[in-house]
Structure 1
Amino acid sequence: MRQFRSGYLGIPSLLAATIVAVSCLLTACGGSSESGSGSASLSPSARAAALGENLMVRVEIDTNDAAKSGTNCADLGADWASCARGKLILENTGGRSLAAGGWTLYVHSIRRILMIEHPAFAWKHVTGDLYALTPGAGAFTLGAGERVEVPFVGEYWYQRYSDLLPRAYVVADGSETPAILKHNDTDDETRYVDRIPPSTDDVAAFAATPAQVQRARAEAALPSAQQSAARALPAVLRETAGEGTVQIGGIDLALSGLSASQAAALGSRAATLGLDGPAARVNGRIVGGALPADIARSGGYRLTIASSSVNIDAFDAAGLFYGVQTLLSLTPAGGGSVPAMTIEDAPRYAHRGMMVDVARNFRQPATLRRLIDQMGAYKLNRLHLHLSDDEGWRIEIPGLPELTEVGAKRCHDLTEMRCLLPQLGSGPDNRSGGGYLSRAEYVALVRYAADRFVEIVPEIDMPGHARAAVVSMEARYRRLRARGDEAAASAYRLLDPADTSNTTTVQFYDRRSFLNPCSDGAQRFASRVIGEVAAMHREAGAPLSVWHFGGDEAKNILLGAGFQPLDGTDPGKGRVNLAAQDKPWARSPQCTALLSAGKAASVDELPSMFARQVSQIVRANGIGTMAAWQDGIKHANGPQDFATANMMVTLWDTMFWGASDSARTLGNQGYKMVLALPDYLYFDFPYSFDQRERGYYWASHGTDGFKTFSLAPDNLPQNAEIMADRDGNPFEVTSAGSAPRIEGIQGQAWAEVMRTDQQFEYMVYPRLLALAERAWHRAPWERPYREGERYKLGDTDKVDKAALAQDWAGFMSVVQNRELPKLTRAGAVVRTGLGMASRG
């Protein structure tokens, strides 16, 4: 989804394409006789097994700017005429010859493969990132230890090892039993990527900013653990020092206003931190509006730590919970002394969130529970679960079993009646990617989160990014139709069978990526799913208050600005047959009839029309707020168009592509706004410029903890003075109009290149702590928004960068001395340190 935009697309596709070609070539070399012809004597499954055992695919990237070396990227149809050259190296690692013919190699590539330059292979795009390469019979033989190089051209470039996906597999003619190439069955990309050109030219542009220079000075003399002892994470609104210290070996809770399960959650946190020694008595009560006005709101509290007692006066139950979490934050792992003090505190934003994509690659319930534990500890309160996408459906819906029986797993079934085709390096047997939350697991997860004051916000993405649902419901249709029950078969069908629209989505799927918003089945489906999920929340004792509609990227990327007609003359754009391209649903008779009836003005408005219809379903289920990504509501006039009491927009523009303007426009329309700025808050982006750091980088080549920490959400223009754009260039922002109202911020963990839970945790921790700091606490160096103020890196000097650096140094000291050991005790995989993005 949000990984490709306006020609600045996610880098991984081409590398993956390279892998595809390489794998195919290796497979093509398949066979198992000394002469190279004896493979015909093997059974198809044995032939595939031999290829899987002995073929190896490796990749070398020769250049990331193939146009400069004579490749006509525009004629190849590359977006913005940008393409790279490389070679797939196919090697026979076994002791017997491998012959071409009688098999097909399937390879994952999240970049479009534009050309394979080897006469021995026929190749085609299957769907999404899956490609098929078939060698001609007798075209070549690979002897033991021999290699063959297959040149290829891929769209865009390859700058990270994670741009190339693993687990190419082969299928022999006459068999549907696939075999993964053993040597490519790994999540360590360095085992099959031989070379990526160094990014010295690009990295040279990333000179340290004045804020980063100040940061380096502050980091050189980080405060000691003793100096940081009085700083909680996230930082508090205000504190007053007391006399001496208090020894906290454990906690004995006497809280009036928390449920038994909420108190137990706090006890569990204390146990995780090793607080099993002499317990300090913690008294707590709810006092509501008796608190000072600036903390008399949900989550507000006063914490008094004295030698005689620890007391919490809270506005509500959430405030009691957060008061204890602040005490636990100040307490070292294993117990220790805490300075006596009085803290008065309350949250900055109502929405302090984290989005987890469990659709592209599934996350296990234990991993999600560990995330919820950390969210509760650091006062984040909304877990946005991206439960469906093109690559997977992840929640059980009673009465629609195909959603999980087909849509939650991947296998080699070209009919897709049993599963989705493999994607994202999953292989044909769900070595990564597969899985779902059963109804019972989801109910338990909602309950577990509620006990930690974390609200789960479910997202079922529609009408775009809906391929897993569409394919699953097609399998249901065919099953029931075969029984002769046409009415039941059609009840939840999500496409118009007469639609012939030719579209290519952001992740290279066809029209089956789009749920058809003009079909009766689409509304019936939405009603069933929303109703069932709402029922799960009620059963968990945490009624659903926010439903996320999704709504993003319902478009044909080949109609984007980086392409031109075949007879176009612009050397900087790819040439494609634009006349053959359609917008989604353009050739759907059902949508044509709806447009003729005046239900929408054009096909462009169909997603927003469908969002309005879904909002009625959301309201009917007692849910007060519907949310959507910003492009899901772009043809609406404002929140008044929707049936729910509130309409929330998740804003995913980058700062350098106009996030400040978008926030102002949406805020003026009256939407509740949550910032999900990719250049600051996408945790699937790399920490640094190191090519071995995992992640997409279409919006940021390096998002370390400091960058997230430095975000000024209430004054977006300010950020243009602190950080450069994605390519290291200064950009200018001038505030215009009144300050937009911000409901909150959230981090994002998209999962295309996070195949494992370990990779997910490495990418999230410890950046989650910087997110929590900004979501809860407004720092003194954040300037107030003033209309007409101009900001530009290296040109203006309004922000107190020394104060930012000193604040960061204090935060870093707490993270290193107190919080990283706590994350380790919790069992999380953690990237040690939040340090400065490396320079190459």
Structure 2
Amino acid sequence: MKRLNKSVLAALVFGMLSGQAGADQKTVGQLSEFGVKYQVLDNHAALNGVDCAALGADWASCNKAVITLTNHSHRAVTSHDWAIYFPSIRQILRTDNPAFTITHITGDLHKLEPTEKFTGFAAGQSVDIPIVNEYWQLFMTDVIPRWYVTAPGAQPQVIASTDTEDLTQFVAPIGDNWKRTPDDNNILMTADTRFEKNSDVSRLAAQSLRGAIIPTPKQIKVHKKDAVLSNGVALDLAVLLRPSAEVIEARFKQLGIKTGSGYPVRTSIAPKTFTGDDARSGAYRLTIKEGEAVVTGFDQTGVFYGLQSILSLVPVSGAKTIATLDASDAPRFDYRGMFIDVGRNFHSKAAILRALDQMAAYKLNKFHFHLSDDEGWRIEIPGLPELTEVGGKRCHDLTERQCLLPQLGSGPDSNNNGSGYFTRADYIEILEYAKARHIEVIPEIDMPAHARAAVVSMEARYDRLMKEGKPDAANEYRLLDPTDTSRTTTVQFYDKASYLNPCLDSSRRFVDKVMSEILQMHKEAGLPLTTWHFGADEAKNIYMGAGYTDKASPEAGKGQVDMSQQDKPWAKSEVCQALVASGAVEDMAHLPSWFAVEVSKLVDAHGIEKMQAWQDGLRDASGASAFATKRTGINFWDTLYWGGSDAVSDWANKGYEVTISNPDYVYFDFPYEVDPMEPGYYWGTRFTDERKVFSFAPDNLPQNAETSVDRDGNAFSAGSAKLWPGAHGLSAQVWSEVVRTDEEMEYRLFPRIISVAERAWHKASWEQDWQPGREYKGGETHYVDTAALAKDWQRFANVLGQRELAKLDAAGIAWRVPVPGARIVDGKLATNVSLPGLRVEYSVDGGEQWQVWRNDARPVVSGNVQVRAVSPDGNRTSRVVIVE
């Protein structure tokens, strides 16, 4: 049963006694049936008469939009006693209808209310509410669903027209507003521009793909004959632990090959036979003959990966034959990672397990599990029930003692992916599942910023225990200093409650408690906790950033704010002021790095070998040697075109293990292509498709200036005169602000993650070694062998399109089907697709009937022609596009 806080309960009782509750609930019900339409009007408002700087917009950038509310009923709404709560990732700077006001609540939550000038909604009336937002709105997913209505004493209700993941139901097409600036040089993807982009990738004959293993082995020699697996496989898996053996057996069965008898597959472990760089965990040798296959591993992981290479060769449909070959292989990086954020929006255990299956199939070995953030705490911690009871749930409770306020499209209810957490048993099951697949799980508990779910939960715990007369217990894990009156705003527009206070002894006790409990779960699962991820990112006040200026003495081109009203995090915390005064920490700005060092002492005391963090949170530490742990790693997330290719070497030269995690290449919450219909954030880049990821050179970041463009589609230069010790690894990230469902998460991950697996495992011939002082200039220098890159991509794209995507179907993965290119040439329809092998269909009757397009019999068409690509199993399609 949903628990109501006392203030809400009292309001309901009062309303019922007064007879008002029924009237208010009727108003809420009427408004919940309103039509909502959101339309972006102008993304270049500063150039068209709006003083964005005076409104306080970052870098003086703002856009105009309009909210239209339509009363579809035959009854007017005259009450003034209501409010519509709605999410907006863009700060709303101005409301241009005097009958309404919009107030920022916290995070992305805003409240729209009538003013005294409101005269009601007449039956059938539509009312426009023009607004000005910060930044731009270039993709449909900038608008977030599940707006809801409240009134005093009434239960909130979602506005039905916004209760959808199909944003086209209430968001108008972006149209010509897709450019960030007028000189944005990105190419809008249409049927024609996609056709042009795909034109250098053709379908290869299946014979030319024989023996292609993904990810590509270091050395491979393919022979002419085939091995036949149609009668099944007799697997000798004695060298593997039984759970890992069962993973291999299940994968063969999933691909349509029975196990127990048939083609012999023998395995052994012989570490002394591996030499040089191949003498490492995960290395293997594979021999496939007509009569048997033999896998020799450096260790159990090597045997597991050798078997996955056999499975890589197996087709889902057609003859169950694989090429005979000899392969010698070892991983390129020790760290080959996938990151999933379940804090912003929760993702189910089933989806996590499916992701781990695919990690194993493509030899990824580090699962970075983002378990907490401002918007949610997602793991049960014994002894701290509020973390999940409050921090793991969202609902409309303005006191936030029963739950967190709605964010990111969750609405007022707790029955969606805004709410949820993993029980202790769930987490142990995930660990055991990962262990069987030779995957390390790296839990991240984000702090000292991005900690709002924990802070609010511990405030609820504090209130409960104080009411019980237990002040010592109440203060044991409190994360806020009650003396702290700092006025600060996070990057996601939360206040000081987003920051765990690093100066409190209770904060240190909290970290120790959480770490101890998670460590115990790892012990019970038999999967050692070897890396603790501290988070550490974005512990700052956004209004003190470079894009804002003091309105008392403004700088041109920046948002004007009253800097006298802005503080650094914890600036007015008496306990932090005392710490700085003592000399223990240099100043307030150094607190995040100081706290990271303090937490590293706890990590080391628990016997955990490595601490890891997002690099910006450690910037004021002297280097890896400042930390108590044996090893210290960072996820490097600077964009390359803003200087990242030079800055990365500083971190490696300070002794950190650098995992390349650049937003402009491996943030998979970003769109696949420049099309307003494509979902995703885009602050780091406008598109990241499979080809771009495949072309990424993670161990020579400057090289990428020759093979990609910056956020605005322009060439850029990159280089560094510094020495580069080399990357420790590569990781792909899915942040979940606008990734609300499991299906959306899989759409973002797959098939791009296979390109990550390729680059993390295999160094291509066209990847150059780091050369200090070499400057790569897009469009000018030509150090990269782009012909070799294009040929390599054609091979890889064909393996995906002709073989691997069908395996994703077999595993039940909701991967993204690429939108095809098409154009009409001499009256005939020509189409192509980025991953050759996928079927393309067309319709000439508005989608009533679909026909298979064939290159050898191009149809004569006219009028309204639609095209789409289809998954190998025929169950899913791409977006439909019109050929013009």
Report the TM-score when normalising by structure 2.
Answer: 0.88
Q: How does 1:214-253 map to 2 (within 5 A)?
A: 216=198, 218-219=200-201, 221-249=202-230, 250-253=232-235
**CA displacement, residues 95-147 of structure 1 (integer Å, 9 cap, x when unaligned):** 22122411111111111000111222233111111111221368222222210
Q: Which of 89, 92, 116 is the equivalent residue of 1:113?
A: 92
CA contact (8 A) 1:59 1:195 kept: no
Separation in 1 of the partners of 2:388 and 2:171?
34
**Other structure's SS at 2:446 match:** strand
Please state how far the C-alpha of 1:803 moved relative to its aligned partner.
0.4
**CA displacement, residues 700-726 of structure 1 (integer Å, 9 cap, x when unaligned):** 111000110001111111111111111
Please state how far the C-alpha of 1:217 moved relative to its aligned partner.
5.2
**CA displacement, residues 683-736 of structure 1 (integer Å, 9 cap, x when unaligned):** 000000110000011111110001100011111111111111111111111231
Separation in 2 of the partners of 1:590 and 1:550?
23
- Other-structure match for 1:50: 30
Distance 1:307 1:634, change over 3 A: same
Separation in 1 of the partners of 2:332 and 2:55?
50
- Other-structure match for 2:372: 388
Q: Which of 426, 429, 449 is the equivalent residue of 2:410?
A: 426
1:266 aligns with 2:248: yes
- Other-structure match for 2:547: 562
- Other-structure match for 1:357: 341
CA contact (8 A) 1:304 1:312 kept: yes
Separation in 1 of the partners of 2:477 and 2:274?
53
**Other structure's SS at 1:327 match:** helix
1:659 aligns with 2:644: yes
Separation in 1 of the partners of 2:797 and 2:756?
13
Separation in 2 of the partners of 1:87 and 1:737?
50
**Other structure's SS at 1:717 match:** helix
Distance 1:722 1:41, change over 3 A: closer
Q: How does 1:566-715 map to 2 (within 5 A)?
A: 566-715=551-700
Q: How does 1:673-822 map to 2 (within 5 A)?
A: 673-822=658-807
Separation in 2 of the partners of 1:68 and 1:718?
36
**Other structure's SS at 2:252 match:** helix
CA contact (8 A) 1:425 1:432 kept: no
Separation in 1 of the partners of 2:262 and 2:23?
69
CA contact (8 A) 1:214 1:802 kept: no
- Other-structure match for 2:300: 317
Q: Percent identity?
A: 46
CA contact (8 A) 1:462 1:551 kept: yes
**CA displacement, residues 218-249 of structure 1 (integer Å, 9 cap, x when unaligned):** 40x33222211211111111112335100123
Separation in 1 of the partners of 2:668 and 2:594?
32
**CA displacement, residues 274-323 of structure 1 (integer Å, 9 cap, x when unaligned):** 22376322100000021343422110011000011110111000000000
**CA displacement, residues 503-549 of structure 1 (integer Å, 9 cap, x when unaligned):** 01000000000000001110000000011001100100011001100
- Other-structure match for 1:307: 290
Please state how far the C-alpha of 1:214 moved relative to its aligned partner.
11
Q: Which of 265, 274, 281 is the equivalent residue of 1:298?
A: 281
Separation in 2 of the partners of 1:554 and 1:674?
21
Tell me the number of residue pairs that the alignment of Structure 1 and Structure 2 aligns. Answer: 797
- The AA in structure 1 aligned to 2:215 is P
Please state how far the C-alpha of 1:498 moved relative to its aligned partner.
0.8
CA contact (8 A) 2:21 2:153 kept: no
Please state how far the C-alpha of 1:621 moved relative to its aligned partner.
1.3
Please state how far the C-alpha of 1:586 moved relative to its aligned partner.
0.2
Please state how far the C-alpha of 1:668 moved relative to its aligned partner.
0.7
Separation in 2 of the partners of 1:813 and 1:618?
45
CA contact (8 A) 1:169 1:179 kept: yes
Q: CA RMSD in A?
A: 2.1
Separation in 2 of the partners of 1:253 and 1:179?
57
- Other-structure match for 1:410: 394
**Other structure's SS at 1:43 match:** helix
**Other structure's SS at 1:484 match:** coil
- The AA in structure 1 aligned to 2:222 is A
**Other structure's SS at 2:236 match:** strand
- The AA in structure 2 aligned to 1:345 is D
**Other structure's SS at 1:226 match:** helix
CA contact (8 A) 1:464 1:553 kept: yes
1:326 aligns with 2:294: no
1:101 aligns with 2:84: no
- The AA in structure 2 aligned to 1:349 is F
1:452 aligns with 2:430: no
**CA displacement, residues 785-827 of structure 1 (integer Å, 9 cap, x when unaligned):** 2222121111001111010011001001110111000000100
CA contact (8 A) 2:585 2:594 kept: yes
Separation in 1 of the partners of 2:268 and 2:324?
20
CA contact (8 A) 1:159 1:199 kept: yes
CA contact (8 A) 1:388 1:394 kept: yes
**Other structure's SS at 1:363 match:** coil
Separation in 1 of the partners of 2:130 and 2:20?
28
Higher relative contact order, structure no. (Cα contacts within 8 Å, ≥ 6 residues apart): 1
CA contact (8 A) 2:178 2:676 kept: no
CA contact (8 A) 1:83 1:156 kept: yes
Q: Which of 273, 289, 292 is the equivalent residue of 2:272?
A: 289
- The AA in structure 2 aligned to 1:515 is L
Q: Which of 534, 541, 566 is the equivalent residue of 2:526?
A: 541
- The AA in structure 2 aligned to 1:254 is D
Separation in 2 of the partners of 1:642 and 1:338?
50
**Other structure's SS at 1:479 match:** helix
- Other-structure match for 1:180: 158
- Other-structure match for 1:276: 258
- Other-structure match for 2:5: none
- The AA in structure 2 aligned to 1:453 is H
- The AA in structure 2 aligned to 1:181 is I
- The AA in structure 2 aligned to 1:164 is V
Please state how far the C-alpha of 1:216 moved relative to its aligned partner.
4.4
CA contact (8 A) 1:161 1:694 kept: yes
Separation in 1 of the partners of 2:720 and 2:764?
20
- Other-structure match for 2:69: 90
Please state how far the C-alpha of 1:41 moved relative to its aligned partner.
8.8
Distance 1:201 1:741, change over 3 A: closer
- The AA in structure 2 aligned to 1:125 is H
Separation in 2 of the partners of 1:395 and 1:40?
41
CA contact (8 A) 2:270 2:299 kept: yes
- The AA in structure 2 aligned to 1:601 is E
Greater Cα offset, 418-427 or 726-735: 726-735
Please state how far the C-alpha of 1:570 moved relative to its aligned partner.
3.0
Separation in 1 of the partners of 2:196 and 2:329?
29
- The AA in structure 2 aligned to 1:367 is A
**CA displacement, residues 139-182 of structure 1 (integer Å, 9 cap, x when unaligned):** 2222222101111111011111100011111111233x211101
Report the TM-score when normalising by structure 1.
Answer: 0.92
Q: How does 1:419-568 map to 2 (within 5 A)?
A: 419-430=403-414, 431-568=416-553
Q: Which of 375, 378, 389 is the equivalent residue of 2:359?
A: 375
**Other structure's SS at 1:98 match:** coil
- The AA in structure 1 aligned to 2:239 is G
- The AA in structure 2 aligned to 1:312 is V
Separation in 1 of the partners of 2:561 and 2:625?
40
Separation in 2 of the partners of 1:816 and 1:41?
59
Separation in 2 of the partners of 1:744 and 1:464?
25
CA contact (8 A) 1:406 1:419 kept: yes
Distance 1:41 1:724, change over 3 A: closer
